[in-house]
Amino acid sequence: MKRDKRGFTFIELLVVIAVFSLMIVIIIGIFVTLSSTQRRLSYTLQAETDIRYVLEVMGQEIRGNALDYDYYANIYSGAGQTFPEPINILALRGRQQEQICFGLDSSNEVIRMTLDEGCETGWQTITTSKVRVKELNFFISPHEDPYNTRLCTSPDDCFYGTCLDNGDNDYCQYTDEHPKVTIVLTAENKLARETEREEVFLQTTISSRQYFR
């Protein structure tokens, strides 16, 4: 009995090589996709960790101090002026009457903090060099100091309160609402490639623990 000693034909070899090459391409594609996804998640997690640290720094200052309503009253004072929403500077007043301010440096895309009176100079960056902050907004409620009886001559002198008639000393009356700040923040890891960059959006509301009633 004779054995068939024929090997693979040329066509068969081409088919095997084509199938093997296709498998290699598919495996490499899966590996590249998984690697890119892993890097994107890593960059996003790093940016979120850094931003949460900054939120905690601001949160500690908000909880331990009072909102500086006088700062906003000086900026937005005048008949007919309304309190803007949102605001880009958060001003606080410490127990020793020191002023603490937070804001976004839009040109450098970093969050900064200052203890300078008037929130004008002495700014220091509190975000890391890896993070690009694209948006930082503050929403303050209530818009007027609920612990202060501000004098008024008409309802226009009170942002959202009522001007109560009290003879020669009319004053603004506001709701008995505990001051709180809502922080809305959008950031990304600037070390990531454009295709692997993903925005981190965080929002939190923090109440001041300073109560004066």
- Do the domain assignments include residue 213? no
Q: What angle do CA 115, 46, 36 make, to 5 degrees?
A: 150
Confidence label for 125 from pLDDT (cuts 50, 70 and 90): very high
Structural domain including 117 reads: 11-142+177-207
- Do the domain assignments include residue 168? no
- Do the domain assignments include residue 1? no
Give Dmax over CA atoms of the chain in angstroms.
127
- Do the domain assignments include residue 161? no
Among 136, 145, 119, 138, which Cα is nearest to 66's? Answer: 145
Residue 78 dihedral angles phi and psi, to the nearest 5°: 125, 150
Among 146, 136, 147, 56, which Cα is nearest to 90's? Answer: 136
**Weakest-pLDDT range from 12-26, 30-44, 49-63:** 30-44
The pLDDT of residue 203 is above 80: yes
User: Number of folded domains in the chain?
Assistant: 1
Among 74, 115, 113, 111, which Cα is nearest to 93's? Answer: 115
Q: Mean of the pLDDT values across residues 72-85? A: 67
- Do the domain assignments include residue 151? no
- Do the domain assignments include residue 153? no
Which span out of 66-75, 127-136, 155-164, 165-174 was modeled with the highest average pLDDT?
A: 127-136
The pLDDT of residue 175 is above 80: no
What is the spatial distance between Cα 63 and Cα 59, in angstroms, rounded to a whole number?
Answer: 6
Which span out of 28-32, 39-43, 90-94 was modeled with the highest average pLDDT?
A: 90-94
- Do the domain assignments include residue 202? yes
Confidence label for 80 from pLDDT (cuts 50, 70 and 90): very low
- Do the domain assignments include residue 2? no
Name the residue with tokens 């709180």: 180
State the sign of the Cα–Cα–Cα–Cα dihedral 107, 112, 116, 118: positive
The reported pLDDT for the residue numbered 73 is 79
The reported pLDDT for the residue numbered 92 is 93
Task: Please state, rounded to an integer, the average pLDDT across all residues of the chain.
Answer: 82
Q: Mean of the pLDDT values across residues 134-148? A: 85
